[in-house]
């Protein structure tokens, strides 16, 4: 994976970016709260918009639990449409946690994302990064 630049972090994760390429969202392993989950994604949108980035690499390997149903609905029904309306977001690469019980990227979430974006799931950061930068 290319070197990243720090942008924002809170107790549950960080938002970094590869200039002229993509946002890198990753989790700390701390227990999720709705406010911090939504704050991370709000900062993802700000970063996409500020730097005209077109892709997200979401590394969920350290995610301690799946977000609650309300946060998953917020992500697909509010955050995603608003983000697409104000950014050039087109690609989303995900690295899910190996524990299916802690996954954000259930088939429902992946299908919701695929309605709007090119989506791919990877097990390796370098593969995900290569896919996002191969345009």
> What is the tens place of the pLDDT at every residue in 73-88?
999 999 999 999 999 9
Judged against a pLDDT cut of 60, whether residue 14 lies above it is answered with yes
Q: Is the model's pLDDT at 106 over the cut of 70?
A: no
pTM of the predicted model over 0.75? yes
> What are the structural domains, with CATH classification, of the chain?
5-133 (3.30.750.24)
Q: Band the pLDDT of 97: cuts 50, 70, 90.
A: confident
99 has a pLDDT exceeding 80: no
Torsion 112-60-80-74 (CA) sign: positive
Angle at CA of residue 4, ends 41 and 74, nearest 5°: 10
Distance (Å, whole) CA 127 – CA 80: 24
Q: Is residue 92 predicted with pLDDT exceeding 60? A: yes
Neighbour order of strands in the sheet with 5-10: 5-10, 13-18, 22-27, 55-59, 91-95, 118-121
Total residues found in the chain within this entry: 135
What span, in angstroms and rounded, lies between the C-alpha atoms of 64 and 12?
A: 9
* pLDDT score of 64: 85
Token couple for 24: 């890198």
CA distance 23 to 131: 13
SS3 content of the chain, % helix, strand, coil (to 5): 40, 25, 35
Of residues 3 and 11, more confidence is placed in: 11
Higher pLDDT, 67 or 50: 50
Bigger pLDDT: 16 vs 63: 16
Average pLDDT over the chain, rounded to an integer: 91
């Amino acid at each position: 994976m290319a070197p990243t630049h720090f942008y924002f972090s809170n107790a549950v994760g960080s938002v970094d970016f590869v200039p002229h390429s993509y946002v890198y969202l990753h989790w700390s392993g701390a227990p999720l709260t709705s406010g911090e989950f939504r704050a991370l994604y709000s900062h993802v949108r700000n970063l996409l918009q500020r730097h005209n980035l077109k892709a997200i690499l979401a590394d969920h390997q350290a995610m301690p639990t799946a977000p609650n149903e309300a946060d998953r609905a917020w992500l697909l029904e509010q955050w995603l449409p608003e983000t697409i309306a104000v950014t050039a977001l087109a690609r989303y690469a995900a690295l899910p946690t190996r524990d299916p019980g802690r996954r954000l990227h259930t088939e429902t979430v992946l299908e919701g994302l695929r309605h709007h974006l090119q989506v791919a799931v990877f097990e390796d950061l370098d593969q995900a990064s290569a896919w996002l930068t191969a345009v």
